[in-house]
């Protein structure tokens, strides 16, 4: 009998849902979830498709979350097989979105179907939160659904996001948090003049250099059990007119903090401006908070996931907070416990993206066992 997770993964990989196009994926999920007794609601915004489907009204509420959109394919002639014509070769399923994250979506749905079939009167509630705007701007996707749920006073007890978190083999790593991102555009002001007469001006690049050195050497925090220390990095510097005989009137420096729960947004801003003030700079800063850090410590969800992975995969998983950001940053605002659990990440966004075929039924089984532990019949 064909594996249902593999069959569904192939079906949705075949849909060219390049962000923010959903290509009918959410309609497919809504139909299958309605057959299980879920109510479905499309909370779409600015052309982005968002699905919120729920079964039951009792607590606790367990949510599977993910995105149906994929990144662009890149040059088609570099793919061994067409990216939206899923193909199995040497035990791997190839296609855009195979790893990130349509295989996880398929496993979530088949796990839910198996769980509801076995336990139709399960306690608590189940829900799906799907969006077609994660790989793009991520403005009108999960954030829009969270806004709607907030307005209704709805909160989530447990959430699993299907991002590809594994490193070498299924289940070896689970993400239990992500660092925050705080960016700034710093403009240091000087006085423009002829470069042959520097005493008539003030070179903002020279003035900023000692402060930049101190910022680069600063230990912002030491991290904690789950997070590495906060980092501060410059991404862009621009100053000058392009001429070689003009001292610039200003220099623009773009920078970014990747920070953990060991620091706050306000503390990082205050410490940075204190260093600039110490060097007596005249400056302006425009701040942009990309995301706040979030963390799920050891508790029922982490314990259930660890036990499920140990049972299905025979390994002990590692809880980690490495990598970039995810839609977990939005869901964490209304969710007590959140983990990201998915297949091996090695080929995400690459040409010939793929996933191990044998991992698909095991990922579905992991999700099912988590449900059985958190919503015990």
Closest CA to 84 of 75, 94, 92: 94
Side-chain-side CA neighbours of 248 within 13 Å: the count stands at 18
**Which listed residue (21, 69, 135, 157) is catalytic?**
69
Annotated catalytic residue 225: no
Cα R_g (the chain), whole angstroms: 24
pLDDT reported for residue 240: 95
pLDDT reported for residue 265: 97
Distance CA 304, CA 287 (A): 39
Q: Is 169 helix (H, G, I), strand (E, B) or coil?
A: coil
227 C-beta neighbours (distance < 10 Å), count: 24
pTM value surpassing 0.75: yes
350: Cβ contacts below 8 Å, ≥ 6 apart? none
Do 341 and 165 touch, CB atoms closer than 8 A? yes
Distance CA 205, CA 226 (A): 37
Q: Is 259 helix (H, G, I), strand (E, B) or coil?
A: strand
**Which listed residue (22, 100, 134, 135) is catalytic?**
134
Q: What is the mean pLDDT of each run of 10 residues along the chain (377 residues)?
A: 93 98 98 98 94 98 98 97 98 98 98 98 98 93 97 97 98 96 97 97 98 98 92 97 97 96 96 98 96 91 98 97 89 96 97 98 98 95
Annotated catalytic residue 113: no
pLDDT reported for residue 323: 82
pLDDT reported for residue 1: 67
């Amino acid at each position: 009998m064909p594996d249902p997770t593999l069959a569904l993964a192939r079906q949705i990989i075949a849909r060219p849902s390049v962000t923010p196009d959903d290509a009918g994926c959410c309609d497919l999920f809504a139909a299958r979830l309605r057959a299980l007794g879920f109510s479905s609601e499309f909370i779409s915004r600015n052309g982005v498709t968002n699905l919120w489907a729920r079964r039951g009204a009792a607590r606790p509420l367990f949510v599977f979350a993910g995105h149906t959109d994929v990144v662009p394919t890149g040059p088609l002639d570099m793919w061994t097989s067409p990216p939206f014509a899923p193909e199995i070769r040497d035990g791997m399923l190839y296609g855009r979105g195979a790893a990130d994250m349509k295989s996880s979506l398929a496993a979530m749905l088949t796990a839910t179907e198996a769980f509801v079939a076995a336990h139709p009167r399960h306690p608590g509630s189940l829900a799906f939160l799907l969006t077609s705007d994660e790989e793009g701007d991520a403005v009108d996707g999960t954030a829009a659904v969270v806004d709607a749920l907030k307005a209704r006073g709805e909160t989530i007890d447990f959430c699993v996001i299907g991002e590809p978190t594994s490193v070498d083999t299924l289940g070896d790593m689970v993400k239990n948090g992500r660092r925050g991102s705080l960016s700034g555009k710093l403009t240091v002001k000087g006085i423009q003049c002829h470069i042959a007469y520097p005493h008539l001006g003030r070179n903002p690049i020279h003035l900023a250099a000692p402060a930049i050195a101190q910022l680069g050497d600063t230990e912002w925090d030491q991290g904690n059990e789950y997070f590495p220390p906060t980092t501060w990095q410059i991404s862009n510097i621009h100053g000058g007119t392009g001429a070689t005989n003009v001292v610039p009137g200003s220099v623009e420096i773009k920078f970014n903090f990747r920070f953990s729960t060991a620091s706050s947004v306000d503390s990082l801003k205050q410490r940075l401006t204190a260093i600039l003030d110490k060097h007596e700079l005249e400056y302006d800063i425009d701040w942009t908070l990309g995301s706040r850090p979030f963390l799920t410590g050891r508790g029922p969800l982490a314990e259930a996931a660890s036990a499920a992975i140990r049972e299905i995969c025979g390994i002990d998983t590692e809880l980690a907070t490495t990598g970039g950001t995810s839609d977990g940053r939005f869901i964490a605002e209304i969710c007590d416990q959140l983990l990201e659990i998915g297949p091996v990440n090695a080929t995400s966004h690459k040409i010939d993206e793929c996933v191990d075929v044998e991992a698909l039924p095991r990922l579905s089984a992991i999700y099912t066992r988590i449900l059985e532990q958190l919503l015990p019949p």
